[in-house]
Structures are given as structure tokens and as C-alpha cells.
Structure 1
């Protein structure tokens, strides 16, 4: 694994805009005007490294599914700060094996040691368009004979066909509170892959979903019942909404994606459960719910935090906090594992799982200790 510097394509802004990435110009303070999509550098992997990462990701995915079974069997919901009334519906969702679509493991990896799991974005992962589409066309333009760890697009189409079948209908929802447009972009892309699989689709914001009391059904703006729904809206928000209980009850008839049982995977308490179940596993970091215990250096992460917000990093002689409003739900304490250093830049690998199989990677890069919503996205290639 190495970082290489190169020239941006002429008219690169228009190119990525034509591929759907409208917020590529988002500039982070202190980054010297660096754009969100930055193709002036890229990462290169060997095929051996990619195969090792694929195995690690699929191992982690299997371990996570086993962890769901463990939490449900031993009723460890309280550590996840999940409302008690949701416990039984989660158990039933898992017992039914309500279908799941996609997830993203965030990994620390330098090409030398084992990849370390930082967290799992299992319910509402984003940066999908960049990972699946934009970096693929960058590769074809700049390195047409090279390959990339990226089968996300094909895997999504195949997954939709397996889950729904041609001719089925589904709604796709995002929240209108998304000011940047990232959520809408990701949902539009997923809708496009579903259409490629033969589904009939309808787009709608979460705020526009209605409840028909007479039919006891959720409906769209045309009054059509909403059956299958993909929502880029986290379950922990949904269950606190006025119609949250109705949404949970609805899952017994037509489960939405991601399924209710993924509340146990999108919560950072998962990190402590995994360490408890697989202590010493080479792809895990020590993590606890009751405090840092023996950890001399650690990261305190809110269970439901997002984009690096409300994090505290504690190392000998130094404490660093990131701004945010998360944490009332509780924290997990995970061993601090420094991100690798490539010319002063620190990458995090976002490894995608579609269904139950590894499908590709996207890379976010930061100059600091925490990857957040200001970190740039860089493409990659496989050096054969």
C-alpha cells in the first residue's frame, strides 16, 4: 500500500458532476482549499493486500452477525441504549432474518499489519457514489489497464434481484434536513441500481411519508401504500418519531431496509460486544462500555455518534475533543490506534459489504486524528 501524487484530469469538476457528485467542491477549513473529491493523489494496493482485506471484511461481517445472535440470546440490549419496547421487535426481526442490503466497515490499515476495525456503519452508510461510480471512472480515464477493488455496482444490482425480483416495487426515502445533498445522492444512486435490477421505484423524503389511519398503512404523496422501503434514515431517530411505533409494528408485514435488527450493528456498543466475544482477534481493538479499564490511550466514542463528532481522544499527556451533541446515550471506550501516516496524511478505509460479501473500498483522508465530514475522498487502484 502506498500513496501516489499525480495531476488532476482536465475539467475534472465537470466530469465528477456529470457522474452525480455535486458537492465535490466542499472545502475543509485548514486544508488549504483542498476539495472533497481529491484526485491529485491516490492509493495503490497489491492484489495480495486486497485479497487479505476481503477476507478480513467477510470475517468481520460474519462475526457481527454472530454478535447480533449473542446480544439477542443474552438480552444485552441495555448496553446499546435501545428503548426497551424495541427489544422484542428486534428479536423478531432477527428471527425472521429480515433482509439486509449494505454496510461499510471503517478500517485502519497501512499495508503492513492487520486491518483494525474502527467502527461499522451498518444502517445509513454514505460515500457510496464516490466509492462505486466516481472512482471507477477516474480509474478508466487515468489508468485504463489497471484494476480496482470495486464490484459495488454489480453487487447491488444482483442483491436487489435476489431480494425483490424484477417487477417488484419499492420506495426510497431520505431526509429533507440534509442540506448538502449527500443523503439524496446516495438514495438516488441506490434507486438507480434497483431500477437496473428491474424494480419499479418511487422517491420520497421521510418527512413526506404519511400515515393512513383507516388503512393502517404508510403512504406516499399520491396516497399509494408504502410496502418495501429503503430509508437512509437511522432507526434510532425513527423510533423516537411520533409514528415510530407504527413503523416498528409494520416490520412484521413488510420489513424495511435496513432491517430493524441492524440497530445492534449501527451502534458502537457493538465494538465492546465483539471484543468480549473475540478477545485478541487481530482485526479488533479492545473496547469496553464501563470505562477505559487498562487502556492507557483510548478513544471515547458516543454510541450513536456520526462523522467523528463528540469524540474524546486520550493519550499520555494529551486529551483532544471534537465538537458535537452526541453522548447522552452513553459511550464506548476503544483502544487508540493511530492512523497510518502517508506524507502527513492519514487514510481510513471504508470497506463495503453488499449482502454478505465484500464488494470494494473507498478511502477518506485527514491531516488530523479524526476522520470527519471535512475529510477528502481519494481514489485507489490495484498495482498488478
Structure 2
């Protein structure tokens, strides 16, 4: 796994914008890296594929364990949501996607799970569409990429279609985020290609009337995909209506995903699968014998409020608004490093199967919302 360079093209922004990628830069600093990329081997791609599938199965076992043994206190979940979570699990409410974040130690060829972005994972459009177009642009000859995201999304929606409630699947996100809207519209487009009737509604446009959620036309919302975190929803004024809804609207992602999107799942996984080769040791309390570790808030997003310790001395920290909900402590991983920065691998599971990867690169060893996206190809 190594970085390869390309000649920087003058019109790279226009090329990306032509396919609907409008947030390629943040404050005029490139978020998308167009002039270098990761080259990985088939062996490395196969390792990621197998690890992702195995960890997904382990995560499902962990959800079953948490629900069976009522371990909700670790997750700081509002008590009124527990019944909803259990029903969504017992009813096998469907999940479309998730993204594992991996650290790759090339020297030891070890792949370690950092966390699982199970509810509202970002960079799906970049991974599934933008880097595929990038590959076709720079490598029109036969070069492969670990990327079947688009096909897998359409197949997943096709499989899900008979089990949707009502005739329309609503899609929702916040108004103010171009990134969220782009990813949401990409997901909605794949659902349309699967033959599903869809409707866009922003989160703040969702109404409540006659004990049910309604859209702007007053029609009941019976199935809805929301690119909006469960932990935000359940703490807002309308959150308790989720359990009062007479239709019991079908939410995608389902509420049982609250357990997997919470960092509390990391110590649970370590308890269930101790010393597993793809897991890092993780605990609810700081263990005395762990010299090098990362302190993570249960609900932090995009690397906020993360503290990194080496020999029990803090060496890096990020700012943010998280931490009041509690922390977990995770063994410090060895990140892949190049001259351009530190990188982690994002590995997508869609329709119960690993189907694509992305790379995020940072100047420091904590990945944040400013971390760069790097495309990749597979070297034969």
C-alpha cells in the first residue's frame, strides 16, 4: 500500500463539479486529493474484504448481546427509546449501510478496527461515484478499484422494496449541508433506480399531526431514510413522538443502529471477542496497564474531543462539544504514514457485504472533518 503521484490538472475542480461534487474544497483548501492516490494490492484488498465481513457479523452478535443483557446504561440512551430499539431489532428492521474505519500496520500486515460509523457515515458519494470517475479519467485502461458501492446500493434497495411500509420512501437531511444533501440525493437516486417511489423532505419540515409523522402535503410518513443522527433526534423536542407514532414509521437506518454508532460498542466487542486480530483493546475505564491509548467520547463525530496518550502523557487532542456523555479508552493503533500524512481506511458494508473502500488522510494522527479524501486503485 503506497502513494503514487499524478500531474495536477488545472481544471480538476470543474471536472468534479460536473458530476455534482460541489464540496471538493473546504475554505479553498482541497478536501479531495486529485493528484496522488493509494495503490493497493489484491492481497490487501482481500484482507479488508474479509475483515469487514467478519466484523459486521461480530457487530450483529454484539447488538444481540447488549439487548439480551440490557446493557443500555453504557450507551447513555434515553430510557424511552429502549423499547423502540428492541422492537426494531426483533422485527429485523433493515439496515442499508455502514462504514468501518481501519488502521493498517503495513509492517505487520495488521488491520485494526478503530470504530464503526453505523448510522450516518459520510463520504459515500465520494467513494461510490467520485473516485470511480477519477479512475476512469486517469486510468482509462483496465485498472481495478475496490468499489462496487453503486451496484450494491441498487441491489439492496431492490431487496428491501417489498418490505417497505407505504408506497413512498421519504428521504431526509438538514437543509444547511451541501455534503449531506449530496449524499442523500445519491442514495435517493439509487433507490429510484431500484424502482422505489421517493420524496425529499428536510428534517425541519417533518410534521406531526393526529399522532403520526406527516410530510408537507399532510401525507403520513410510513418509511423514511434519514441522514440525521439518532442521538440528535431522540434529544430533540419531537424525539419522543418516535415512540408515539401510530404508524410506527420504518426508520432507515433503524434505531438498533444506535448501539453500533456509539463508541460503547468497542468495549463490548472486546469483551465478547478478546484478543481478536482485528480489534483493539477497549474499556469503559482507563486501565492502569494500558500505556498508549486514545480517549474517545461515546458520541463524538469526525474526531471531535479525542485525546491521544503515549506513555500516559497526552500528545494530541481535538476540540469539540462532546464528552459530557462519557468516554471509552481504546488501545493506540499504528496508523499508516506517508510523507503526505497519516491515513485510515474506510471500509463500507452495504447489503450485509463489504463492497468498497476509501482513504482519509490527516496531518496529525486523528481523523477529523478536515481530513483529505484520497482515491485508490488496485495494482495487479
TM-score calculated relative to the size of structure 2 = 0.95
Equivalences for residues 120-135 of structure 1 within 5 A: 120-135=116-131
Look up the match of 1:30: none
Look up the match of 1:90: 85
Look up the match of 1:377: 373
Deviations 1:52-85 (A, max 9, x none): 1100000000000000000011111100111122
Offset, 1:299 = 0.6
Deviates more, 1:244-253 or 1:193-202: 244-253
Look up the match of 2:298: 303
Change in CA separation of 1:168 and 1:152 when aligned onto 2, cut-off 3 Å: farther
1:191 pairs, out of 183, 188, 192, with: 188
Give me the whole-angstrom Cα distance separating, in 2, the residues matched to 1:250 and 1:332. 34
Aligned to 1:115, the other structure's residue is in SS state strand
Which structure 2 segments of 5+ residues have no match?
none
Look up the match of 2:113: 117
Look up the match of 1:11: 11
Equivalences for residues 41-120 of structure 1 within 5 A: 41-112=36-107, 113-120=109-116
Aligned to 1:164, the other structure's residue is in SS state helix
Deviates more, 1:190-199 or 1:249-258: 249-258
Offset, 1:86 = 1.6
Look up the match of 2:133: 137
Q: How many residues align?
A: 375
Give me the whole-angstrom Cα distance separating, in 2, the residues matched to 1:78 and 1:251. 28
Aligned to 1:243, the other structure's residue is in SS state helix
Report if the CA contact (8 A) 1:346-1:367 is conserved: yes
Offset, 1:89 = 1.9
Look up the match of 2:21: 21
Change in CA separation of 1:248 and 1:221 when aligned onto 2, cut-off 3 Å: same
Report if the CA contact (8 A) 1:131-1:361 is conserved: yes
Give me the whole-angstrom Cα distance separating, in 2, the residues matched to 1:358 and 1:382. 16
Give me the whole-angstrom Cα distance separating, in 1, the residues matched to 2:2 and 2:29. 20
TM-score calculated relative to the size of structure 1 = 0.94
Look up the match of 2:150: 153
Report if the CA contact (8 A) 1:338-1:369 is conserved: no
Look up the match of 1:235: 230
Give me the whole-angstrom Cα distance separating, in 2, the residues matched to 1:295 and 1:4. 36
Give me the whole-angstrom Cα distance separating, in 2, the residues matched to 1:12 and 1:20. 13
Report if the CA contact (8 A) 2:222-2:247 is conserved: no
Change in CA separation of 1:291 and 1:190 when aligned onto 2, cut-off 3 Å: same
Offset, 1:343 = 1.8
Give me the whole-angstrom Cα distance separating, in 1, the residues matched to 2:246 and 2:299. 22
Aligned to 2:237, the other structure's residue is in SS state coil
Deviations 1:130-176 (A, max 9, x none): 00000001111111210100000000000001001499421000012
1:247 equivalent to 2:242? Answer yes
Report if the CA contact (8 A) 1:292-1:298 is conserved: no
Give me the whole-angstrom Cα distance separating, in 1, the residues matched to 2:246 and 2:340. 47
Offset, 1:34 = 4.6
RMSD (Å) for aligned C-alpha atoms = 1.7
Give me the whole-angstrom Cα distance separating, in 2, the residues matched to 1:282 and 1:39. 33
Offset, 1:177 = 4.4
Aligned to 1:361, the other structure's residue is in SS state strand
Which structure 1 segments of 5+ residues have no match?
28-32
Aligned to 2:116, the other structure's residue is in SS state strand
